[in-house]
Structure 1
Amino acid sequence: MQHIKNIIFDYGNVIFDIDFKIAQASFAKLGVADIENFFAHKSHNQLFDDFETATISPAEFRAGIRKAANKPDLTDAQIDEAWNSLLIGTIQQNHDLLLKVKEKYRTFLLSNNNEIHYDWIINYLKTTFQINNYDEYFEKAYFSQHMKLRKPNTNIFEQVLKENNLNPAETLFIDDSPQHIEGAKKVGLNTLLMTEKPAQLQAFLKANGIL
């Protein structure tokens, strides 16, 4: 990776553990049917895309879950608990690692996210690591709900490249989703598919010549 000067990291299952199966089980318990088509790693209901691009509000998202579960009496707390159940956590070593990588490369975070998850994560970082946000760990952290764009669409990658004057030929994108990797390739980015758990991020970067 001699020619790489910039790295764009995904967040979920690259830096931070998430488990789609847990969320699937949680939604199923709420009454959502055909859960594999409703919400999975590689495909999901349009409701989730709309929420990740802030096309709909948290209240509208929750209304969509109530409709899918056919339970209009579900509380906000029940829905949020089910939705946030996929968020597992991260380790201090990954934060230390990100600072180390930042010394060698220009680094960025690019995450498909949403308001409910974002608020949970920020609270988790504050209470667990005394971290307010990721500003210290990347040159800039990008979240889909703030950009109103999401991966794997090429326009989200193009915006990050343009705003930071990045040459895609010198930029590496790391993600755990094959469909996101394909979107990145379309704009000329170098890519690595994360095949390890976030706890193995350092070993994964070393194995691929990043460290």
Structure 2
Amino acid sequence: MEKIKNIIFDYGNVIFEINFKRTQDALLQLGIANPTEFYGHRNQNPIFDNFEMAGVTADEFRAEIRKAANNLDLTDEQIDEVWNSLLIGVSANNHDVLLEVKKKYRTFLLSNNNEIHYNWIIKHIQEKYGINNYDAFFEKAYFSQLMKLRKPNVNIFEQVIKENNLNPTETLFIDDSPQHIEGAKKAGLHTLLMDLHPEKLEDFLKQHKLL
């Protein structure tokens, strides 16, 4: 990709491994009878979208989970454990890979996230890698709950483009979700669908001649 000068990375299952099946199984154990319809890679209950845009607080999110499970006695800790079961960790040497990519391109992170997951992730990278946040790996890291926008809506891509004076024709977006790819295309971005396990990010980038 000779004309690419900027790369916007998704986080989950591009850099950091997540596992929807683990969360669906945990939601079932919690008492939610239709977990694959309730929460999944492509479709989910609106409560998750709202939480990712800070439309509801963490306490309001937990209250909705208690309603869905028909169990008002669930503790915050029980709910958070189930919700965070999605999160596995940074795959392979992806932090080193990101630093290599940053030498060649302006790089950005754009993640649909939420308060509970974000807090877990920051604690994880602090404890495991001794880093406080993602400032060293990207020019800027964007998280949906702080922007009050989420992918695949075109406005979230337009905000990143505008704030950083990016030329969409010189900018690549990498994500593992087809619906997010479609949103990025509407904003005029080049796109690649991450179709490998995140531990293969370096191979993926080399395959597309980005490293």
Q: SS of the counterpart of 1:141?
A: strand
Q: Which residue of 2 aligns with 1:80?
A: 80
Q: Which residue of 1 aligns with 2:66?
A: 66
Q: Which runs of 4+ in 1 moved over 3 A?
A: none
Residues of 2 paired with 1:121 and 1:81: CA distance?
Answer: 13
Residues of 2 paired with 1:87 and 1:93: CA distance?
Answer: 17
Q: How far did residue 92 of structure 1 move?
A: 5.7
Which aligned pairs between 1:193-208 and structure 2 lie closer than 5 A? Answer: 193-208=193-208
Measured against aligned partners, the alpha-carbon deviations of 1:77-102 in whole angstroms (never above 9, x if no partner) come to 00000000010011461101101100
Residues of 1 paired with 2:87 and 2:19: CA distance?
Answer: 7
Q: Which residue of 1 aligns with 2:41?
A: 41
Kindly indicate whether the alpha-carbon contact (under 8 Å) linking 2:9 and 2:173 is maintained by their aligned counterparts in 1: yes
Q: How far did residue 35 of structure 1 move?
A: 1.2
AA of the residue aligned to 1:46 = P
Q: Which residue of 2 aligns with 1:157?
A: 157
Q: How far did residue 36 of structure 1 move?
A: 1.6
Q: How far did residue 125 of structure 1 move?
A: 0.2
Residues of 2 paired with 1:91 and 1:56: CA distance?
Answer: 30
Aligned positions, number: 211
Q: SS of the counterpart of 2:191?
A: strand
In structure 1, stretches of 5+ residues that fail to align are: none
Which aligned pairs between 1:42-57 and structure 2 lie closer than 5 A? Answer: 42-57=42-57
Kindly indicate whether the alpha-carbon contact (under 8 Å) linking 2:62 and 2:76 is maintained by their aligned counterparts in 1: yes
Q: SS of the counterpart of 2:93?
A: helix
Q: Which residue of 2 aligns with 1:137?
A: 137
Residues of 2 paired with 1:25 and 1:70: CA distance?
Answer: 17
In structure 2, stretches of 5+ residues that fail to align are: none
Q: Does 1:96 align with 2:96?
A: yes
Kindly indicate whether the alpha-carbon contact (under 8 Å) linking 1:168 and 1:187 is maintained by their aligned counterparts in 2: yes
Kindly indicate whether the alpha-carbon contact (under 8 Å) linking 1:53 and 1:144 is maintained by their aligned counterparts in 2: yes
Kindly indicate whether the alpha-carbon contact (under 8 Å) linking 1:178 and 1:193 is maintained by their aligned counterparts in 2: yes
Residues of 2 paired with 1:144 and 1:33: CA distance?
Answer: 28
Q: Which residue of 2 aligns with 1:4?
A: 4
Q: Which residue of 1 aligns with 2:169?
A: 169
Measured against aligned partners, the alpha-carbon deviations of 1:160-206 in whole angstroms (never above 9, x if no partner) come to 00000000000000000000000000011000000011110000000
Kindly indicate whether the alpha-carbon contact (under 8 Å) linking 1:92 and 1:129 is maintained by their aligned counterparts in 2: no
Q: Which is worse superposed, 30-39 or 49-58? A: 30-39
Q: Which residue of 2 aligns with 1:118?
A: 118
Measured against aligned partners, the alpha-carbon deviations of 1:81-136 in whole angstroms (never above 9, x if no partner) come to 00000100114611011011001000000000000000000000000000100000
AA of the residue aligned to 2:7 = I
AA of the residue aligned to 1:163 = E
Kindly indicate whether the alpha-carbon contact (under 8 Å) linking 2:84 and 2:120 is maintained by their aligned counterparts in 1: yes
Q: SS of the counterpart of 1:161?
A: helix
AA of the residue aligned to 2:205 = L
Q: Which residue of 2 aligns with 1:31?
A: 31
Q: SS of the counterpart of 1:3?
A: coil
Q: How far did residue 55 of structure 1 move?
A: 0.4
CA RMSD in angstroms, aligned pairs only: 0.6
Residues of 1 paired with 2:158 and 2:169: CA distance?
Answer: 13
